[in-house]
Chain A
């Protein structure tokens, strides 16, 4: 892969272009499918663009849908950058969501300025601890992180299921859900009556912090070196075990924060099936954004628009919701293709 080595604080446009290519391909594939089923692709895309970005309400809906994806993309990118193929953000999202909800319906007497940070901190704490475990396994016992984090997702999801049907089940509730979070613990809506909450701006702040982290902090520098060349980073004396541990903890914290922000901002409690796969969508966005902040922001907003437009488009037309899945799938596949590879390899003199 031809990762450009960006100078500190120099925007990386090559990466941004590489991130845009999959969308172009996906739109083309989707157009063929739509045309084959007797629909005019341009009309459909125009409708989807309107539903995704037409007016403040629709933009707010898109940004709301983009929020968890942006969080999970950054969570994934932190570890990907260090060369750790961590697929466990989905599990951290579940645990963080439950932890945030539990704090939110327990400390009902706390005022907002205390309760909301406490909820978010609880989510980050549990998510961070969760992914520290596969970090330890990888750093000291060389347990493959793909396998461990993948399996831990099942553990996390079923653990939350167990808890939400046991100690945290809402009294008198038949379905598997916790009690509602105290309204003081909800993330405030920024543009009522739209659904946009403070959560989107927290996600943006995390993205900005990620940008600073990867370019201006020693740990971010070490992560880049280790991701590009682990033998080199070891030989110059970087503490690779510590690096793995820290990036996994960081990834888990952001994943857990994502979950609690989702609970506080959208669902207002923890329910079974809490995430429709945000961890995986975020992983796809991190891949297609090549871990770059700008690439992930674009990717998350486009995926958010697809999600928010998809649900309403089928209300107003006969377009099946599945076209959105097709577009997402094609984008993801082509995001993983390394377009840079296809270019002719430069020779050496």
Chain B
């Protein structure tokens, strides 16, 4: 077969949702054996375009191009039959199955009698792992496997099923720098073998380092199709936002004045499966201080915040709020004592998506004056107050009774921050506060966090974005396997140092 010029692409793809033009005449072309980056902010149309390329959605106008020919992809199975597979941002592995079982799920090799042929499966798995240049214990249960191995298995699963076009949505979001390098190396190897990769990311340095070409989307249109040789990070960011972006940054310094707002003493905690994730951790968080928590996903961050916020009782140790033992307090008592919480899981914990914007802002305080009186809610008072808060936190919305899911990701996150900061907490536990938020939104949220800190608020910032920690935190505590691997403060800290601590090496 003659090699096509375009392995996968789009020609004048337009997709409307009601009055919203999600994709507006998008052209995209990825030659076989290349990596094409797709970047853009929230609402730029990346997700819609990827859904179309994967057969989950159909364009209103224009067509998908596969092997130089216009095609109509009826569903994901149709796309897969043409060799197109996707790794989603949220991992799709079955938690209780082993990595091997996850690999072959849905296409199991069988012996006579319909029994799964484990030997054949394992042989194939090893062949794929060798091809990818990774070492894997295939008998690990997925939930126990380190996050970067799960990521690799997601990719190998596509290869196992015969895909040679890989669509990767934010594949490096949860990895440590070293693991990111390994993953990018894997992608380059796959490309050199002739596979075609669409790499969706907002980490522009990674895009520039691994991609052969970059397509920039903004407001549903292609605003540029360029190459790493022609563009740098600042140029890409400007293309994405439409104007130069400036990130707030503050000079870190040790803040020792003031009694700690939140203290952890010998904190040991287990996850929902009973696995110990946090071992004997001590930490103090003082007023006006931003403490960053870094670590590979699953290093104990979730358990630390659960213990502080009150989502789960720790196994041992104490949580103190302003010096008073709060280990046994309820969530609402801790909130009353001044703890705010920005959840990493905006869709399932940070917001109630079908509920109105005002309901989301007032939730948790709806029983307190002035929002309720004589046992009844006071909608006019609530509306007035919510309007003020939404205005102060720059939320763009149509009507405060609209469901919060009608907002863009960045605006949804602003609603979360509005709710939490409007309560005037003393300490804010912020987990991945800018996840899924575009560059302009990130800068805005960073300014809000810094503003809160300037007025004396303490912030525990748990983030996978090391740049975010570097820009905002006074000191960065790195967790490795549930223990504090090290702490970096002052101007001399480096990304490389954090990266080494994250995988258990000395800084």
Residues of B within 8 A of A7 (CB): 356, 401
Given contacts A235-B341, A349-B17, A349-B220, are A229 and B22 in contact (CB under 8 A)? no
Residues of A within 8 A of B311 (CB): 234-235
Contact residues, B357-413 vs A (CB, 8 A): 359, 363-364, 366-367, 372, 375-377, 379, 401-403, 408
Residues of B within 8 A of A347 (CB): 15, 17, 22, 47-48, 51, 56-57
Residues of B within 8 A of A317 (CB): none
Instruction: Mark A219-263 against chain B: 1 for CB-CB distance below 8 A, else 0.
Output: 001101100110111111111000000000000000000000000
Q: How far is the CA of A4 from the CA of B372 in the complex (A)?
A: 23
Residues of B within 8 A of A221 (CB): 359, 363, 366, 377
A137: Cβ under 8 A from any B Cβ: no
Residues of B within 8 A of A231 (CB): 345, 348-349
CB distance from B433 to the nearest CB of A (A): 15
Chain A's interface size range is 20 to 34
Chain B residue with the shortest CB-CB distance to A3: B354
A341: Cβ under 8 A from any B Cβ: no
Residues of A within 8 A of B343 (CB): 235
Q: How far is the CA of A225 from the CA of B349 in the complex (A)?
A: 11
Residues of A within 8 A of B349 (CB): 229, 231-232, 235
CB distance from B272 to the nearest CB of A (A): 12
CB distance from A233 to the nearest CB of B (A): 7
Residues of B within 8 A of A9 (CB): 379
A346: Cβ under 8 A from any B Cβ: yes
- Cβ–Cβ contact A349 & B44, under 8 A: yes
- Cβ–Cβ contact A5 & B48, under 8 A: no
| Interface core residue of B42, B56, B401 (most chain A CB under 10 Å) | B401
Given contacts A5-B401, A235-B309, A348-B48, are A224 and B377 in contact (CB under 8 A)? no
CB distance from A291 to the nearest CB of B (A): 13
Contact residues, A1-43 vs B (CB, 8 A): 2-10
CB distance from A267 to the nearest CB of B (A): 35
From B5-13, B145-153, B257-265, B328-336, the one touching the partner chain is: B328-336
Contact residues, A70-104 vs B (CB, 8 A): none
Q: How far is the CA of A228 from the CA of B353 in the complex (A)?
A: 8
The interface of chain B, by Cβ under 8 A from chain A, is: 15, 17, 20, 22, 42-45, 47-48, 51, 56-57, 220, 309, 311, 330-332, 334-336, 341, 343, 345, 348-356, 359, 363-364, 366-367, 372, 375-377, 379, 401-403, 408, 419
Q: How far is the CA of A234 from the CA of B330 in the complex (A)?
A: 10
Residues of A within 8 A of B401 (CB): 5-8, 10
Q: How far is the CA of A111 from the CA of B161 in the complex (A)?
A: 80
| Interface core residue of B20, B335, B356, B367 (most chain A CB under 10 Å) | B367
Given contacts A231-B348, A239-B332, are A216 and B363 in contact (CB under 8 A)? no
A55: Cβ under 8 A from any B Cβ: no
Residues of A within 8 A of B419 (CB): 236
Chain B residue with the shortest CB-CB distance to A224: B355
- Cβ–Cβ contact B331 & A218, under 8 A: no
Residues of B within 8 A of A217 (CB): 375-377
Residues of B within 8 A of A218 (CB): 366-367, 372, 375, 377
Residues of A within 8 A of B402 (CB): 5
Residues of A within 8 A of B352 (CB): 225, 228-229, 232-233
- Cβ–Cβ contact B359 & A5, under 8 A: yes
Residues of B within 8 A of A234 (CB): 311, 331
Residues of B within 8 A of A237 (CB): 330-332, 334-336, 364
Q: How far is the CA of A216 from the CA of B381 in the complex (A)?
A: 13
Q: How far is the CA of A346 from the CA of B351 in the complex (A)?
A: 19
Chain A residue with the shortest CB-CB distance to B334: A237
- Cβ–Cβ contact B363 & A225, under 8 A: yes
Q: How far is the CA of A321 from the CA of B51 in the complex (A)?
A: 52
Given contacts A4-B403, A347-B57, are A233 and B43 in contact (CB under 8 A)? no
Q: How far is the CA of A231 from the CA of B344 in the complex (A)?
A: 12
CB distance from A82 to the nearest CB of B (A): 13
| Interface core residue of B15, B47, B366 (most chain A CB under 10 Å) | B366
- Cβ–Cβ contact A5 & B355, under 8 A: yes
Q: How far is the CA of A213 from the CA of B352 in the complex (A)?
A: 20
Q: How far is the CA of A218 from the CA of B367 in the complex (A)?
A: 6
Q: How far is the CA of A98 from the CA of B334 in the complex (A)?
A: 45
- Cβ–Cβ contact A216 & B356, under 8 A: no
Q: How far is the CA of A270 from the CA of B57 in the complex (A)?
A: 59
Starting from the known contacts A224-B359, A238-B332, A349-B42, 19 additional A-B residue pairs (CB-CB under 8 Å) come to A4-B403, A5-B355, A7-B356, A217-B376, A218-B366, A221-B377, A225-B352, A229-B351, A229-B353, A229-B354, A231-B348, A232-B352, A234-B311, A234-B331, A235-B309, A236-B363, A237-B331, A347-B56, A348-B48
Pick from A2, A216, A225: contact of B355, CB below 8 A. A225
Given contacts A225-B359, A349-B47, are A235 and B350 in contact (CB under 8 A)? yes
Q: How far is the CA of A232 from the CA of B404 in the complex (A)?
A: 13
Residues of B within 8 A of A228 (CB): 352-355
- Cβ–Cβ contact A232 & B375, under 8 A: no
Q: How far is the CA of A7 from the CA of B401 in the complex (A)?
A: 5
- Cβ–Cβ contact B22 & A349, under 8 A: yes
Q: How far is the CA of A6 from the CA of B379 in the complex (A)?
A: 12
Given contacts A232-B363, A236-B364, A237-B331, are A8 and B377 in contact (CB under 8 A)? yes
Smallest CB-CB A-B distances: 6 pairs: A237-B332, A236-B364, A7-B401, A8-B379, A349-B22, A229-B352
Residues of A within 8 A of B43 (CB): 349
Residues of A within 8 A of B376 (CB): 216-217
Q: List 29 A-B contacts (CB under 8 A).
A: A3-B354, A5-B354, A5-B355, A5-B402, A7-B356, A8-B377, A217-B375, A217-B376, A217-B377, A225-B352, A228-B353, A228-B354, A229-B348, A229-B353, A232-B351, A234-B311, A235-B311, A236-B364, A237-B331, A237-B332, A237-B335, A237-B336, A238-B364, A239-B330, A347-B48, A349-B22, A349-B42, A349-B45, A349-B408
Q: How far is the CA of A120 from the CA of B45 in the complex (A)?
A: 60
CB distance from A234 to the nearest CB of B (A): 7
Residues of B within 8 A of A349 (CB): 17, 20, 22, 42-45, 47-48, 220, 408
Q: How far is the CA of A275 from the CA of B452 in the complex (A)?
A: 60
Q: How far is the CA of A264 from the CA of B256 in the complex (A)?
A: 72
Residues of B within 8 A of A3 (CB): 354
Q: How far is the CA of A4 from the CA of B367 in the complex (A)?
A: 23
Chain B residue with the shortest CB-CB distance to A237: B332
Q: How far is the CA of A347 from the CA of B332 in the complex (A)?
A: 36
Chain A residue with the shortest CB-CB distance to B23: A349
CB distance from B424 to the nearest CB of A (A): 15
Residues of B within 8 A of A222 (CB): 366
CB distance from A132 to the nearest CB of B (A): 21
CB distance from A80 to the nearest CB of B (A): 15
- Cβ–Cβ contact A216 & B332, under 8 A: no
CB distance from B268 to the nearest CB of A (A): 23
Residues of B within 8 A of A348 (CB): 47-48
- Cβ–Cβ contact B350 & A232, under 8 A: yes
Residues of A within 8 A of B348 (CB): 229, 231-232
Residues of A within 8 A of B366 (CB): 218, 221-222
Residues of A within 8 A of B57 (CB): 347
Q: How far is the CA of A2 from the CA of B22 in the complex (A)?
A: 21
Residues of A within 8 A of B309 (CB): 235
Residues of B within 8 A of A5 (CB): 354-356, 359, 401-403
Q: How far is the CA of A224 from the CA of B57 in the complex (A)?
A: 32
Q: How far is the CA of A5 from the CA of B352 in the complex (A)?
A: 10
CB distance from B258 to the nearest CB of A (A): 25
Q: How far is the CA of A221 from the CA of B343 in the complex (A)?
A: 21
Residues of B within 8 A of A346 (CB): 17
Q: How far is the CA of A186 from the CA of B44 in the complex (A)?
A: 68
Residues of B within 8 A of A238 (CB): 332, 363-364
